Amino acid sequence: MRYIEPHAHMVSRVTDDYRAMTVSGCAAVCEPAFWAGFDRGSAAGFHDYFCQLTDHEPRRAAKFGLPHYCWLCINPKESEDLTLAREVVELIPEFLKKPTVLGIGEIGLNRNSRNEVKVLEMQVDLAARHDQLILVHTPHLEDKLKGTRLILDVLRADRRIQPGRCIIDHVEEHTVGMVLEAGFWAGMTLYPETKCTSARAVDIVERYGADRLWMNSACDWGVSVPLAVPYAALEMRRRGHSPEEMDRLIYGNPMRFLSQCPKFRPPDSPS
Amino acid sequence: MNRQQLLDLYFLEARSKLIDLAAFLDRIDQAEGEADFRLAAFLRALDTVHAAGGGRAERVLLCLSDSSREPAPVAPGNAACGAWPGETQS
């Protein structure tokens, strides 16, 4: 089995997780910028975090032969302070030149506030001006439906945005349809308690097809499982999916989407 | 997969979750104090599971979702809790 982990917050994980992922067939890992579990006090804090994502973490992953890529942004949970958000967004262009930066993400909404929408628009504009891929976080739990609708409104309102270059993550049964129908890619996050279980993710694949879907662990400092993607592949096998179908979903699809960024190089992993 | 195969694969897991759910409601019943909007939303969502037709998971999620359309003036300080106190769609 081979797979690409398209969404993992490895700065929050121990080195043993890199080893477990590598021996489980992980061929590349991609890390969106996110909330640290506490609000950072200044733009300088984000500068250090972007250095960690673009310099330190790739070196940590390389010890296990694992290519590490990242996405940069100010996350929606820290978007209520517009002054801080503007300062952080101004930092990002210098980092976009780094060889492992894939695009802008995970931008999006958290509690669906007006300021969060403004910062989302600001970062969609940043992505458009710099011709970057976009990775979008959709809100948690009861906020997901409304947030996904608002996010789609923002993305569709900007004519420079090509849906095929945006992935809207953390979809569930009530949001996946609207995302795919609008032409965007959709990500399913495999969490033990919130978002999708493996069985539900496979249900969604069977209902909507695997054309523009990927699966990720989004492992971080919370309740999450770094090997969730291979575990979901095992679920597919139990449901009678062929090895080719599994490979397409967990390796081919992330490869297809991420390769739209010329910096993403196909991993030379055995199949 | 056919129904028999799906039952073979998932029945015990679903049975376990069903008993957990029943035990959770018993626990709530036996406790003192007032429940909040989350329990009402949970019970409404549970009702939709009995309804005929597919799309049960989607209906449950809709029952627990904020169905308003306008952005909030400011982000509420608390984290999402899994249910919405307003009138939801189902």
Task: Give A73-84 pLDDT, tens digit per residue.
Answer: 999 999 999 999
CA-based nearest residue to A121, from A91, A92, A157, A146: A157
Q: Could you tell me which residues come within 8 angstroms of residue A46 by beta carbon, excluding any fewer than 6 positions away?
A: A40, A74, A88, A91
Sign of CA dihedral A260, A261, A263, A269: negative
Q: Is the pLDDT of residue A271 over 50?
A: no
The pLDDT score that the predictor gives to residue B52 is 84
pLDDT of residue B77: 82
Closest CA to A119 of A154, A143, A91, A157: A154
What pLDDT, in 10s, does the model give residues A87-137? 999 999 999 999 999 999 999 999 999 999 999 999 999 999 999 999 999
Buried b (16+ CB within 10 A) or exposed e, B54-73: eeebbbbbbbbbbbeeebbe
Mean pLDDT of chain B: 94
Query: Which among A111, A140, A173 has the least Cβ separation from residue B58?
Result: A173
For residue A150, give the nearest of B71, B82, B83 by CB distance. Answer: B71
Residue of A nearest to B89 (CA): A145
* A238 at interface of B, judged by CB pairs closer than 8 A: yes
pLDDT, average across residues A139-144? 97
Surface-to-core class of residue A262, CB atoms within 10 Å of its CB (0-12 exposed, 13-18 middle, 19+ buried): exposed
Cα A139 from Cα A169, distance rounded (Å): 10
pLDDT digits (tens, 9 = 90+) for A186-223: 999 999 889 999 999 999 999 999 999 999 999 999 99
pLDDT tens-digit readout, A214-237: 999 999 999 999 999 999 999 999
Q: What is the pLDDT of residue A92?
A: 98
Omega cis (within 30) before A244: no
Residue B89: pLDDT band (50, 70, 90) is low
For the record, the structure tokens of B69 come out as: 């359309």
For residue B76, give every residue at least 6 positions away whose Cβ sits within 8 Å of its Cβ, in sequence order, or none. Answer: A111
> Cα angle vertex A158, ends A152, A218, to 5°?
45
| All structural domains of chain A | 3-258 (3.20.20.140)
Is the predicted ipTM greater than 0.90, yes or no? yes
List of residues 6+ apart from A240 with CB closer than 8 A: B1
Flag if A146 and B68 touch (Cβ within 8 Å). yes
The tokens describing A9, both together, are 């917050």
Q: Identify the weakest region by mean pLDDT among B1-5, B19-23, B52-56.
A: B52-56
Residues paired with residue A189 on neighbouring β-strands, in sequence order? A216
CA A78/CA A81 separation, integer angstroms: 7
B67, A146: Cβ pair inside 8 Å? yes
Mean pLDDT, to the nearest integer, of B51-62?
93
Distance from CA of A175 to the nearest CA of B (A): 9
Closest residue to B75, CB basis, from A116, A140, A144: A116
**Bridge partners, residue A32, by sequence:** A71
